[in-house]
Amino acid sequence: MEIDPFIFRLSIFILSIFVGYYVVWSVTPSLHTPLMSVTNAISSVIIVGAVIAALATTSDKSFSPSSIFGYLAIILAAVNIFGGFLVTQRMLQMYKKKKKDKK
Amino acid sequence: MISSNLSAIFYLISGILFILALRGLSSPDTSRQGNYFGIAGMTIAIIATFLSIGNFSNSFLYVLILLILGGAIGAFIAFKIPMTAMPELVAGFHSLVGLAAVFVAIAAFLNPEVFNLGISGNIKLASLIEMSIGAAVGAITFSGSIIAFLKLRGIMSGAPITFSGQHYLNLFLGLGIFVMVYYLCKIQSENIFWTLIVVSFLIGVLLIIPIGGADMPVVISMLNSYSGWAAAGIGFTLENTALIITGALVGSSGAILSYIMCKAMNRSFFSVILGGFGADNSSSDTKEKKDQKPVKSGNAEDAAFLMKNASSVIIVPGYGMAVAQAQHALREMVDKLKKNDIKVTYAIHPVAGRMPGHMNVLLAEANVPYDEVFELEDINNDFANSDVAFVIGANDVTNPVAKTDPKSPIFGMPVLDVEKCKSVLFVKRSLSPGYAGIDNELFYRDNTLMLFADAKKMTEDIVKNLD
């Protein structure tokens, strides 16, 4: 009997939870704020769904109820992607080591 | 146009790059590189989507314009936001992810053909369940984050809002979601789908309003987790590996952070969710004590004298320091102390800011090298061997009552053992209790010197007196 593709996706999902678990525990506590902003940025990869909704129409028209929701979601996700990655970058730039030359 | 197999490979690559982005955060040295991995992963995912659809008509132009528009708004916010406002920013960003998930789910419901989910009115059962979970969790994330944002921003009071029957109402609405998903699968009615989304918005609001200001670090982490699960739900609907991997990563990351925060406050996750903490129910008790006990108070000169004659000083910063914008003055003070060959370190409690790791960012912004900053478990033994503890803008996290009084609401919470230092300098405006609403026994100890002033002004005065 053939395995339902859903099971494959479920496997990916569960394995990723395990990967996430171990990777996140190894994040140093001093970087927990950047961790939150970067996870926020990457979860905006939901934009791929928005792009499909906006572009993959069956008709020739640019606007349909479903594509409009797609366009709206693109704006929201774009704010998040750029905002999230840039603010993370800004924070990470500030973390510096002690300067060796003391005086 | 590329085949769906090829685009699936690209999505897998971007998923792996996201894992590497989080991996990079294990040390500040590798973190910047990690962020570039994240950006690369996102770029690959978006380009793969464009190529697999292959629609480069006018609509594509609109998409690019919106992408640039949203990007410009995001970039503007990212550069303008002060570091003290990071918790609000993250809460706000979570709400956007939640709403985007809702919109994508709606689009998929209205036009399932383009997502290969069957036809309108006859959507595949599994897809329908997945998209309603994505929509419901997304809606809860959205409205919950908005409430968290308003509370953090101070637009809404941080005091918990409770009413009788609240938990039953939440339970009832939660069960309602399951019933609606069941009927949605049966009759595929559009009305049920809309009701589902509205009820989920309502749950998000009801879930966050009873949670007090002190528990906000848990709430933000929890919403972080929800936004991940919403993304994963949509990922299943769209059969998209990048989204599934990312959703799982973000979901577990937020869950771990919530756990760390709960543990740092010695609160069970359930009691945080049920809310009501931070209400002023022990105030009568504190007022009595306040009038009776004597307190030693001093000025900047005394503080400077004490620190100059110390050989090691531990700084304990709290959110009050950030509110007073004293971090730069503080670093100036530390620079002066170091010139006198005094060893200075920083001790940070996990809930020292308004979100996990917040205080570290604030210190990093003030150019404090991160290798002078220590977490609670790494530094707590050093207090006994140090001369001066300089507590600035922190309160509850130093309260020895957490170790001694089983009746105290914060009993069992890990605290910094500042009282073991030879002397403790406590910068504070007044003797008022902190977030937890309980009196700090430390104020009345013999080795404590209270410095009543604004944190920034006091630090600046000490700097002057150190010359």
Please report the pLDDT score of residue B278 as a whole number.
46
To the nearest whole Å, the CA of A11 is away from the closest chain B CA by: 10
Best residue in B11, B32, B63, B79 for a mutation probing chain A (most A CBs within 10 Å): B63
Look at residue B14 and tell me whether its pLDDT is greater than 90. yes
The residues with which B122 forms a beta bridge, in sequence order, are B119
Q: What is the DSSP letter of B440?
A: -
B275 — pLDDT class (breaks 50, 70, 90): low
Q: Do A78 and B71 touch (CB under 8 A)?
A: yes
Sheet strands (E) in B111-208? 118-119, 122-123
B290 — pLDDT class (breaks 50, 70, 90): very low
Going by C-beta distance under 8 Å and a sequence separation of 6 or more, which residues neighbour residue B410? B265, B266, B396, B399, B401, B402, B436, B438
Are A91 and A38 within 8 A, CB to CB?
no
Please report the pLDDT score of residue B287 as a whole number.
42
Say which amino acid occupies B346: Y
Best residue in A26, A46, A72, A79 for a mutation probing chain B (most B CBs within 10 Å): A46
Contacts of B71 in chain A (CB under 8 A): 78-79, 81-82
B378 — pLDDT class (breaks 50, 70, 90): confident
What is the Cα B212 distance to its own chain's centre?
Answer: 14
Q: Do B248 and A20 touch (CB under 8 A)?
A: yes
- Closest-CA residue in chain B for A33? B357
Q: Which residue has the higher pLDDT, B119 or B359?
A: B359
B288 — pLDDT class (breaks 50, 70, 90): very low
Q: Do B41 and A42 touch (CB under 8 A)?
A: yes
Token code pair at residue A50: 């928005």
B255 — pLDDT class (breaks 50, 70, 90): very high
The minimal CB distance from B27 to the residues A28, A62, A72 is found for A28
The minimal CB distance from B97 to the residues A20, A30, A44 is found for A44
Residue written as token pair 């589902």: B196
Going by C-beta distance under 8 Å and a sequence separation of 6 or more, which residues neighbour residue B143? B95, B98, B200, B201, B202, B203, B204, B205, B208
Length of chain A: 103
Contacts of B11 in chain A (CB under 8 A): 48
Please report the pLDDT score of residue A100 as a whole number.
52
Domain ranges of chain A: 29-95
Look at residue B112 and tell me whether its pLDDT is greater than 90. no
CB-side neighbour CA atoms (13 Å) of B431: 22
> Region B9-33: what's the mean pLDDT?
93
Model confidence pLDDT, tens digit, residues A14-49: 999 999 999 999 999 899 999 999 999 999 999 999
Q: Do A80 and B96 touch (CB under 8 A)?
A: yes
Look at residue B301 and tell me whether its pLDDT is greater than 70. yes
> Region B57-81: what's the mean pLDDT?
92
B292 — pLDDT class (breaks 50, 70, 90): low
Query: Which range has the worst mean pLDDT, A28-42, A56-70, B104-118, B340-354?
Result: A56-70
Chain B 38-77, CB below 8 Å of chain A: which residues? 38-39, 41-42, 45-46, 48-50, 53, 55, 57-60, 62-63, 66-75, 77
The DSSP secondary structure of B314-336, one letter per residue, reads EEEE-HHHHHTT-HHHHHHHHHH
Q: H-helix or E-strand containing B448?
A: strand B448-452
Whether B291 is catalytic = no
Q: Of B159-168, B270-279, B331-340, which has the strongest mean pLDDT?
A: B331-340
The residues with which A61 forms a beta bridge, in sequence order, are none
Q: Which of B100, B93, B55 is nearest to B73 (CA)?
A: B93
Model confidence pLDDT, tens digit, residues A42-95: 999 999 999 998 888 766 677 788 889 999 999 999 999 999 999 999 999 998
Model confidence pLDDT, tens digit, residues B166-216: 888 888 998 999 999 888 888 888 889 999 999 999 999 998 888 877 788
CA-to-CA separations, B339 to B36, B313, B335, in angstroms, rounded = 38, 13, 6
Q: H-helix or E-strand containing B348?
A: strand B343-348
> Region B281-298: what's the mean pLDDT?
56
Q: Which of B73, B21, B214, B174 is nearest to A45 (CA)?
A: B21
Catalytic residue among B335, B341, B378, B396: B396
Q: Do A33 and B66 touch (CB under 8 A)?
A: no
Please report the pLDDT score of residue B426 as a whole number.
87
Q: What is the DSSP letter of B287?
A: H
Residue written as token pair 């303008």: B80
Q: H-helix or E-strand containing B143?
A: helix B125-153
Please report the pLDDT score of residue A18 as a whole number.
95
Q: What is the DSSP letter of B428?
A: E
Chain A contact present for B157, CB below 8 A: no
Q: Do B356 and A36 touch (CB under 8 A)?
A: yes
Q: H-helix or E-strand containing B365?
A: helix B358-365
Look at residue B43 and tell me whether its pLDDT is greater than 60. yes
Please report the pLDDT score of residue B286 as a whole number.
43
Tell which phi-psi region holds residue B369, choosing left (phi > 0), alpha (psi between -120 and 50) or beta. Answer: beta
H/E/C letters for each residue in B34-65? HHHHHHHHHHHHHHHHHHHHCCCCHHHHHHHH
Please report the pLDDT score of residue B146 as a whole number.
94
Q: Do A51 and B72 touch (CB under 8 A)?
A: no
Q: Do A87 and B69 touch (CB under 8 A)?
A: no
Going by C-beta distance under 8 Å and a sequence separation of 6 or more, which residues neighbour residue B87? B152, B216, B217, B220, B353, B354, B355, B358
Length of chain B: 467
- What does pTM read for this prediction? 0.89
Please report the pLDDT score of residue A59 as a whole number.
66
Look at residue B279 and tell me whether its pLDDT is greater than 60. no
Q: H-helix or E-strand containing B343?
A: strand B343-348
Q: Which of A44, A8, A18 is nearest to B19 (CA)?
A: A18
> Region B65-78: what's the mean pLDDT?
95
Q: H-helix or E-strand containing B59?
A: helix B58-80
Chain B contact present for A11, CB below 8 A: no
**Cα–Cα distance between B116 and B108 in angstroms, integer?**
9
The minimal CB distance from B96 to the residues A6, A70, A79 is found for A79
Q: Do B26 and A49 touch (CB under 8 A)?
A: no
Model confidence pLDDT, tens digit, residues B390-448: 998 888 888 888 888 787 777 788 888 888 888 888 888 777 776 666 778 888 888 88
A3 — pLDDT class (breaks 50, 70, 90): confident
**Cα–Cα distance between B132 and B451 in angstroms, integer?**
56
Contacts of B67 in chain A (CB under 8 A): 74, 78
Q: Please state the ipTM of this predicted complex.
A: 0.92
Please say whether the dihedral angle defined by the alpha carbons of residues B371, B375, B376 and B377, taken in this order, is positive or negative. negative
Token code pair at residue B100: 């985007």
Q: Which of B302, B320, B299 is nearest to B310 (CA)?
A: B302
Are B77 and A79 within 8 A, CB to CB?
yes
**Cα–Cα distance between B187 and B196 in angstroms, integer?**
14
Cβ contacts from A onto B, under 8 A: 376
B285 — pLDDT class (breaks 50, 70, 90): very low
To the nearest whole Å, the CA of A4 is away from the closest chain B CA by: 11
Residue written as token pair 């670093």: B331
Look at residue A103 and tell me whether its pLDDT is greater than 50. no
Are B451 and B458 within 8 A, CB to CB?
yes
Token code pair at residue B432: 């008022």
Chain A contact present for B260, CB below 8 A: yes
Look at residue B277 and tell me whether its pLDDT is greater than 80. no
In chain B, % of residues over pLDDT 90: 36
Contacts of B62 in chain A (CB under 8 A): 54, 62, 71
Look at residue B49 and tell me whether its pLDDT is greater than 60. yes
